Amino acid sequence: MAQKLERRARIKAHIRNKITGTAERPRLTVFRSNAQIYAQVIIDEDKLTGKKIGKTVASASSLKISEKATKKEIAEKVGEAIASAAKAAGVEEVVFDRNGYLYHGRVKELAEGARKGGLKF
């Protein structure tokens, strides 16, 4: 189990070295547990000053979805919810941060739901 967590941490660090959320293109990050999935739109740094701020603009999770469905269907609904929340906050384009997870299954469904909701990656 420890090897799996170390591997994900290494992949996550590699991804985060390349991806940064700015005011023009915030970072859409995903966290998934065995039962739930969460998404946040984050502005990592201020473009003018270059300071790291880490401000969450919008968030959505499967905790707020109460209907019975498969995990993939719920992940797609969370993607649509994060897209509508981001659009309400004035965000049109994002950088997708899969947070060390494979782009497969629930992570992929969330991304497709966000695209379906109107976010551009």
Asked whether the predicted pLDDT for residue 50 surpasses 80, the reply is no
10: Cα separation from own chain's centroid: 18
Indicate the pLDDT class of residue 103, thresholds 50, 70 and 90: very high
CATH of 2-117, one of 3.40.30.10, 3.30.420.100, 2.102.10.10, 1.20.1260.10: 3.30.420.100
pTM across the whole model: 0.90
CB 94 within 8 A of CB 10: no
> Closest by alpha carbon to 14, among 100, 94, 95?
100
What pLDDT shows up at residue 53? 87
Indicate the pLDDT class of residue 47, thresholds 50, 70 and 90: confident
Q: Where are the domains of the chain?
A: 2-117
Asked whether the predicted pLDDT for residue 6 surpasses 90, the reply is yes
Region 45-70 average pLDDT: 88
